[in-house]
Structures are given as C-alpha cells and as structure tokens.
Structure 1
Amino acid sequence: MRLTHVAHLRLPFGPLLSHDLVVSEPGRALPLSFDQGRHVGWGDRAGSWMALAMRLPEPLPREDLAAAWCAVVQRHGTLRSVFVPGVDGTPSLHEVEVEGGFWTEHEVLPGQAMNDALRDVLDATCRPYHRPSHRFCVIETVDGPSLVFAADHSHVDMWSLLVLARDFLAALDQAREGRRPRLPEAPPFAEHTVELAELPPAPDEIRDRWNHVIEAGGGAMPCFPLPLGDAAPQPERVVIRDVLDLAQLAAFSAHASAERVSTLALAVSAMTSITRELAGTPLRAVFPVHSRHEERWHDSVGWFITNSVLESADPDPRACSAAVKEAIRLGSWPLADLMAPWGGMPEQPGMFAVSWLDLRRLPVRIDSAGLDAQYVGAAIRTHGVMLWFIIDDTGVHLRCRYPDTLTARQSVSTWLDTLVAHMRALAASGAHREPSRRSAAS
C-alpha cells in the first residue's frame, strides 16, 4: 500500500458526500500529549490531516455506511474528543458526545478535479480545532463507493488509519447482515498519555545523549545535509517512487540477513553511504518511532508516534544496526520532560526526517490490494524534507516532500536518485549471494 498525495490520488467521478456527526459541547478535560500540544499549538490550519482511501466492490446503502462509521467513532475515544484554544493559545482537550448525523453532498465545480474537491472538504473539516476534526467521505459510483477516512494528525497516525479501515469493514459486515453495528470499545489514547506522564524520569545518559543531539544540530533538530534554498516555507514538491519490487525486496532482505542485520539497518547503511558521498557528513535525521509498547494498544487509535534522532556515521551495516537501536532507545522516553530545557522540541528550517513503516510486520492488516487502499497526505507549504519508506507485499515504496525551490529540486533529487540506485545495487548483490548460500547449506 503506497503513501500518495491528495493531488495524485486516483478518484472516480461521482457524487461526493461526507457524513456530518452531531457533536455536543466540550465536556470533561482530557490529558494532552506532548505531540498533540505541539501540533495543535501551531494553530488552526488546513493541510494538517492524514487519510486512508479505499474502494468497495459494490454499491451499498448510505445508511449502512453511516452506521458502520458511527460504530467506529463509538469504539475509539480520540474520535470523541475535541481541542479548545486557550486565551494564551495553549490548547486543551475535552470529551464530547457524538451521535449519528446526516449526509452532506459537496459541489464539484465545472472543470474541478475530484482530488481538489475532496481536498477542500478535508482542509475545511480535518483541522485542529474543528469539531470533530475527522471526516468520513464517500464518492458514489455504479461500481461501488470510494471511501476516505481522514482526521487531523492530532488524533491518528498511519497505524491508526489501518485500524479505522479494519474496524469499519467489521462494522459494515454487521450492517449488511441487518444488525446494528456494535464494536467493543478500545483503550482510549488519553489513557496512554497518562501512562507516559507517569513513567519515571529519563536517566542522565538519555538526557546527555539528547543534549549531544541538539548541540550537533546547532541547537535544533537535524537538517537535510544539502542546500535547500530559501528558508521560508515554500509550496511543497512531492515525489513518489517505487524503489524495489517484490523480487528486489527479497534479494535486499537476503543481503541484510547475510550481514545479520534488519532490512531497515541495510537501508540506513545506504543512506549513510550516499550522504557521506554527496555531503561529506554523517547521516542525521529525525526518526519517528511508535510508542505502542504494550499489545493492548495495538487496536487503539491515536497519535502513538514520538520523535527520536538517527545518527549514523559508519555505513557498515552492523554499525547502522546499532545506530537504529540507539535511536529507538532514545525515543522510548517521554519527550515533554526531555525537551523542557529548550522550551519544547527545537525546530529550524530545513529539518530532515526519515520514517520507516513495514506494513508486513504490523498486527493490523486489510486486503490493501483488493480494496485499492492508499495512504493519502495533505498539501502544505514546507521548509523541510520528509522521507517516508512504505514496505508491503509488493516491495519498497518511497514518498518525499520538500520545498519546491530550484536549489531543493537539485539537491533532493540527486540525493534520492543516488539512494535508489544504491539500494537497488544492494538488492542485486543480495540476489547474487542467495544461490551461493543455498549451495553452502546443501
């Protein structure tokens, strides 16, 4: 399943509808996570959402679709919470009661692409202070509906979007059988926030390591190693690449196994090598890691992602494996206390982040090929570089977002092209290794 962009999403033409839920006034206050506070604290804005799109193979009654979505909302507490701006701009999070509502059909203007019409709906409704800040959209066709589950990032991560899709399909099966869909309530994300807050303080070695990381970045998180041009936020350029097909992925994994490291570590080796080649510096990048450390959170929806930093100076695969483990360890402690000396996470123009999501390893699965499921990103302005690797049963896919300046086009394109070539070369090397390993085993 690829991570695409709202401008690249393949959508049919047809009536565009969204389901409006009836939401109560904000009630009991809920704990706010560090990352929710950062995200919502930047203010109400468009383009802060993420989504999953898929298609069903036959037309279905609107009431069944609405009932299934309502069951999903009742299952997950974060979908029944809203943010309220404080007088000083600090957000607070509150419970709300949510009931089934009504369908709204959105106008698609003459000559307007369906992508743009959908983007308008999501930009208007899936934003930090909207109530609720999530939306279920449907495009109706004679072949069956295209569905979009979208939410402001403060309530979901990429794992969560899979949970939403899976739970919706389970609820829809109940509706098809003539039953009122009901799903057991999942542990709410607010409980996870409380658990993190109650953890003991990070040891001195972790604090010292974070001090080193921030100092090495000039007092902020890491930047892309090559020039990007104007430091002000720019319209984004989004690149989507198929890096390795299934056979190449198998060979790449064989190479990693021969080195006794993970596939991720071998990819970090490639990034480390080409960064030294092109920029003459170690690889340094913000590295998101998940915080679903207990199995009970696997079926919950929320922002279970925190940031770490990956530092890799030696392209040897085992050194890169150690660098990955160190990044995971660094990101395993609550950031609120660790970032306090800097008044929060210190950011700067040009920040560089690398995300790795291996869908084959997640405990949540859907038939992404049969459903034509795709992750969807919003359109924004940016001054940083964000790289996502998505690994699934078809291979390795890459999505990169960067500021669309002439300088960044040259720098980032060169870095990406060199990386893809290097990863394919490692896969080719793995393909050559595999037969000899079999021969030795026999």
Structure 2
Amino acid sequence: MRLNHIDSLRLPFGRLVSCESAVDVTEAGPDGGPPVSFDQHRHVGMGDRAGSWMALAFRLPYPVPQARLARAWSAVVGNHGTLQTVFVPGADGPQLRRALMGEARWQEHPVAPGQAMNEAVRQVLDAACSPYAQPSHRLCVVETADSTHLVVAADHAHVDLWSMLVLTRDLLAALELCARGQEPRLPGVPAFAEHTQELLDRPAAPVQVRRRWAEVIEAGGGVMPRFPLPLGDPSPQPERVEVRDVLDVAGLAAYSSVASEAAVSTLVLTVAVMTETTRAVAGAELRVVFPVHSRYEERWHRSVGWFITNSVLESADPDPAACAEAVREAVRLGSWPLAPIMEPYGGMPEAPGMFAVSWLDMRRLPVRIDATGLDAQYVSAAIRTSGVMLWFILDESGVHLRCRYPDTLQARASVGAWLDELVARMRARA
C-alpha cells in the first residue's frame, strides 16, 4: 500500500460530506484526566495548525447509505479510547480530557468552481483534525452514483500508520455487520492511555542507556541528527515530496535473498546501503532519527494510538553485522520512556535539518486489509518543513520510498543526489 500525499490523491468529483461525533467534554476528575504521552505533549504543544493529521483513503465500488456509515463510524469511535478524548491547553502544556461522544452528524462541504476534490478534502481535514479540535478525527466521504470513496483521518496525536489500518479494518467490519442488519459491535481493545500509564510506571532507564543517549546528542552538536548536506534556508519551507519506486516484486525477492545470505534482515541490508550512500555522497557516517514502535505486547496490536517513539540510529561501518548491531542498539535506546531522558535538554532537542528514516514492512503487520481491492493508500498532509523525512514502504508489490524535504534549490540538489545514489545502490544489490 502506497504512502501518498494529499496533493496527489485522486478522487472523483461527487458530493463531499463528513461525519463527526457530537462531543461533551468532561471536567477533569481527581486523577486530572488521562495521561499525556511524551510524543503527544510535543505534538500538541505546538498548537493548532494545518497538516497535523494522518489519513487512509479507500474506495467501495457501490453506494453506502449515510445512516449505515454513521452507525459504523460511531462503533469505531466508541471502541477506541483515544478517539474519546480531546486535548485542552493547560498551565504545563496540553492535557487530555475524556469526552462523551454523542450522535454522529453529517456536514456537507461545497466544492468551489475549479476546486480539485483533494483540495476540498484537505480543507476539511486541516480544520477538523487539528490538535485541539473537539473531536480531532473525521470520516470524509465522496459520494458518486456508483461508488463511495472514504477518507479516515485523525490528528497524529491519536494515531500512527499502524492505527490507520486498524481504524479502516474496524470500519469495514462494522459496515459489514450493519449490512447484515446486526449491531456493529467490535471486539474491545485496551485504550492508548493505558499504554502511556504503563510507560510512566516503568523503572527509569539504566545509567548506561542515559549515558549513551547523552553521547548521541553530544555527537550531533547538542541536537538530534541532521541531514549531512546543505538544505538552504533553515526556516520552515514549503515541502517537496518525492515518491520513488525502488524495487518491484522480483527485485524485492532478490534483495531479500541477498539479505538472507548475509544472515540479516532487509532492514539491516538497507541500513548498510544507506551507510555506504552517506559516506559516498556526504563523506559522513549515517546518523538518523529512527522511529520504533512500542506495541511490545500482542494486546496492543488492535489498539489505536501513537505507539511510536523516537530513537537514533548511528552507523559508520557498512558491514551487515555492524549494521545489525546498530539497529539493535537503536531499538534498545527507544525502549525506555523518553521524557526523563530528554528532561536535561528541555525536551527532544530538535534543530533545522533533522534527518529521520522510517521503515514500514506491510507484509509483517498483524493487521491486514485488501489494499489492492480497496485501492487503499495512506495519505499525508501538506506542511512546511525544515527537515528531511524518509519512509520505506514494503508490501506485496515491492519497495517504494517517500521523502519529504524543504523545497529549496540546495535541498533539491543535496537530497536528490543522496536519493539517486541510494536507489542505485539498492537496485545494484538486488
């Protein structure tokens, strides 16, 4: 399943409506409300803004009555605790409040003359799925005579890419139950706030982990890793998004075979190639922010929330064995609550040019949908950025990557050269 961008999302012309839940926010009780995770605090603390959401779009090849969609969507919202909470400003940063979700209601969104459908959808999501919106999730529907196009979206504070698959699968299951005339009851799952509390209750990271984090941040000049080549103006710029098809099915099979022969995973082999690329193009070792998921136990596999934490991956030696150890260390560094570790720095020390690489192998996720039959695709928002973010997506069709960077002439040259070399080296390995 591809990771698309809202600017590239193809939607038919039709009636654009969205379904939201009426919200009654409860007052904070003696417990002060559900706990806020480290990443939620960072994300929501930046305030309301356009483009803070994540979405998944798919198509049903037949019309679906609004009443059925509303019942199914209400069942999904009622099954996931994080969708029944809202953020409010607090003296020490954002706080969570529980919300009573009322009856789902529909709103029609006029499409202006000459306006593209994806632009109309973007306007809805930018307004409805911002951090402090109540609620900050929305189901958008483009209705045509013979099909129903759906966009499931939520502010990133409540979801990750894995969660978008869960929401879509649950919505499809609820729709199927409604079509049979049954009540759309879904299997109960633990709320993300429980996961946040478990992390807060864990012992502090051992001294060696804190020391290693300090070394990593010091190596970056007191901040998280940055792209090793010039990007131009360091202030946030309009983004440039590139999507490159790296390997087809046969190419991925050959690439995986090479990894197996070296007794490593495809991820580790790719880290080795990135290490070679960075040395060849920038004369530097590979240093990237490396998101790792925190769904440590199977009981979280069906839950919705931001189950991602950041780590740092450092790799100076392209030997597969060395790269495997670099990946293991990154996972270890990301396996501890980050708030206490980052406290001496006043939070995660970000800087313009931050460089992050994410790896998502759809074939290994325990949550599956018929992405091909549904024409399903992840959809990211349009933002301004000062950093470089790279996603690798692996599925049954092969490997593609998506890269977002500031749209300056220097960044186009620097990131473009790095990507060119990376793709060429990956194909050569295959």
What TM-score comes out, normalization by structure 1 length? 0.95
Residue type of the partner of 2:292?
V
2:333 pairs with 1:335: no
Q: Any residues of structure 2 matched to 1:94-109 within 5 Å, and which?
A: 94-109=97-112
Give the aligned partner of residue 221 of structure 1: 224
Given that residues 20 and 137 in structure 2 are in contact (C-alpha distance below 8 angstroms), is that contact kept between their aligned partners in structure 1? no
2:57 pairs with 1:50: no
Q: Distance in 2 between matches of 1:154 and 1:316?
A: 37
Size of the aligned set, in residue pairs, is 426
Give the aligned partner of residue 22 of structure 2: 22
Give the aligned partner of residue 9 of structure 1: 9
Q: Distance in 1 between matches of 2:316 and 2:54?
A: 33
**Which residue of the other structure, out of 61, 68, 84, is the alignment partner of 1:64?**
68
Q: Any residues of structure 2 matched to 1:417-432 within 5 Å, and which?
A: 417-427=420-430
Give deviations 1:37-78, integer Å, cap 9, x for gaps: 000001111110000000012111111111111000000000
What TM-score comes out, normalization by structure 2 length? 0.98
Cα deviation for residue 218 of structure 1 reads 0.4
**Which residue of the other structure, out of 112, 136, 141, is the alignment partner of 1:138?**
141
| Mean Cα deviation higher: 165-174 or 98-107 | 98-107
Give deviations 1:281-315, integer Å, cap 9, x for gaps: 10000000000000100000000000000000001
Give the aligned partner of residue 123 of structure 2: 120
2:134 pairs with 1:151: no
Q: Distance in 1 between matches of 2:318 and 2:146?
A: 50
Cα deviation for residue 86 of structure 1 reads 1.8
Q: Distance in 1 between matches of 2:417 and 2:381?
A: 25
Give the aligned partner of residue 209 of structure 2: 206
Give the aligned partner of residue 403 of structure 2: 400
Q: Give every structure 1 segment of 4 or more consecutive aligned residues whose post-TM-superposition deviation is greater than 3 Å.
A: none
Give deviations 1:19-39, integer Å, cap 9, x for gaps: 121100234411000100000
Residue type of the partner of 1:331?
G
2:365 pairs with 1:370: no
Cα deviation for residue 100 of structure 1 reads 2.2
Q: Distance in 1 between matches of 2:103 and 2:270?
A: 46
Give the aligned partner of residue 327 of structure 2: 324
**Which residue of the other structure, out of 343, 346, 354, is the alignment partner of 1:351?**
354
| 3-state secondary structure, aligned to 1:265 | helix
Give deviations 1:314-352, integer Å, cap 9, x for gaps: 011111111111101110000011111101100000000
Give the aligned partner of residue 300 of structure 2: 297
Given that residues 227 and 388 in structure 2 are in contact (C-alpha distance below 8 angstroms), is that contact kept between their aligned partners in structure 1? yes
**Which residue of the other structure, out of 180, 183, 198, is the alignment partner of 2:186?**
183
Cα deviation for residue 87 of structure 1 reads 4.3
Query: In percent, how many aligned pairs have the same letter?
Result: 67
2:85 pairs with 1:84: no
| Mean Cα deviation higher: 124-133 or 140-149 | 140-149
Gaps of 5+ in 1: 428-442
Q: Distance in 2 between matches of 1:245 and 1:35?
A: 35
| Mean Cα deviation higher: 20-29 or 354-363 | 20-29
CA RMSD between the two structures:
0.8
Q: Distance in 2 between matches of 1:27 and 1:325?
A: 43
Residue type of the partner of 2:10?
R
| 3-state secondary structure, aligned to 1:40 | helix
Give the aligned partner of residue 431 of structure 1: none
| 3-state secondary structure, aligned to 2:70 | helix
Cα deviation for residue 181 of structure 1 reads 1.1
Given that residues 25 and 97 in structure 2 are in contact (C-alpha distance below 8 angstroms), is that contact kept between their aligned partners in structure 1? no
Q: Any residues of structure 2 matched to 1:264-279 within 5 Å, and which?
A: 264-279=267-282
Q: Any residues of structure 2 matched to 1:246-261 within 5 Å, and which?
A: 246-261=249-264
Give deviations 1:182-207, integer Å, cap 9, x for gaps: 11321000000000001111111101
Q: Distance in 2 between matches of 1:397 and 1:79?
A: 31
